[in-house]
Amino acid sequence: MESWFSLEDTAQQLTCPRCLRQSWFPVESPNDATTAYRAADPFAESGAAHGAYPVVLTAAFLRDVLHGGRLTFAPSLDLYLDDGPEPDAETDFLALWQVPTAAGSSLPPRTTWVIGECKTGPEFREDDVGTIRRMAAKLGGHGVAVFSTMADTFADETLPRLQALATEGRADNWRLVVLPVAWKELRAPDEVIAGARAQRDLLGLAEILQRRHLGIDALL
CATH of residue 130:
3.40.1350
Query: Quick one: what percent of the chain has pLDDT higher than 90?
Result: 40
Task: Tell me what the mean pLDDT of segment 188-208 comes to.
Answer: 70
Q: CB under 8 Å to 22, separation ≥6 — which residues? A: 13, 14, 15, 16
| Helix 202-214 × helix 159-169 angle, to 10° | 150
- Strand 70-79 and strand 89-99: pairing? antiparallel
Task: Tell me what the mean pLDDT of segment 92-110 comes to.
Answer: 77
pLDDT at position 34 is: 66
Kindly indicate the confidence band of residue 29, based on its pLDDT and cuts at 50, 70 and 90: low
Would 112 be classed as within a structural domain? yes
Would 182 be classed as within a structural domain? yes
Would 80 be classed as within a structural domain? yes
Would 91 be classed as within a structural domain? yes
Structural domain boundaries enclosing 174: 48-214
pLDDT at position 197 is: 46
Task: Tell me what the mean pLDDT of segment 91-101 comes to.
Answer: 87
Would 204 be classed as within a structural domain? yes
Mean pLDDT of the chain, nearest integer: 81
Q: Supply the pTM of this predicted model.
A: 0.76
Please determine, for residue 184, whether its predicted confidence score (pLDDT) is greater than 80. Answer: yes
Task: Tell me what the mean pLDDT of segment 137-144 comes to.
Answer: 90
d(CA 82, CA 80): 6
Please determine, for residue 63, whether its predicted confidence score (pLDDT) is greater than 90. Answer: no
Would 96 be classed as within a structural domain? yes
Q: 52-61, 108-117, 124-133 — which is least confidently predicted?
A: 108-117
pLDDT at position 35 is: 64
Domains identified in the chain, total number: 1
Count of beta carbons in the 10 Å neighbourhood of residue 114: 21
Q: Which residue has the higher pLDDT, 125 or 205?
A: 125
Would 178 be classed as within a structural domain? yes
Please determine, for residue 199, whether its predicted confidence score (pLDDT) is greater than 60. Answer: no
For the chain, the distance separating the N- and C-terminal CA atoms, rounded to the nearest angstrom, is: 60
Please determine, for residue 148, whether its predicted confidence score (pLDDT) is greater than 90. Answer: yes
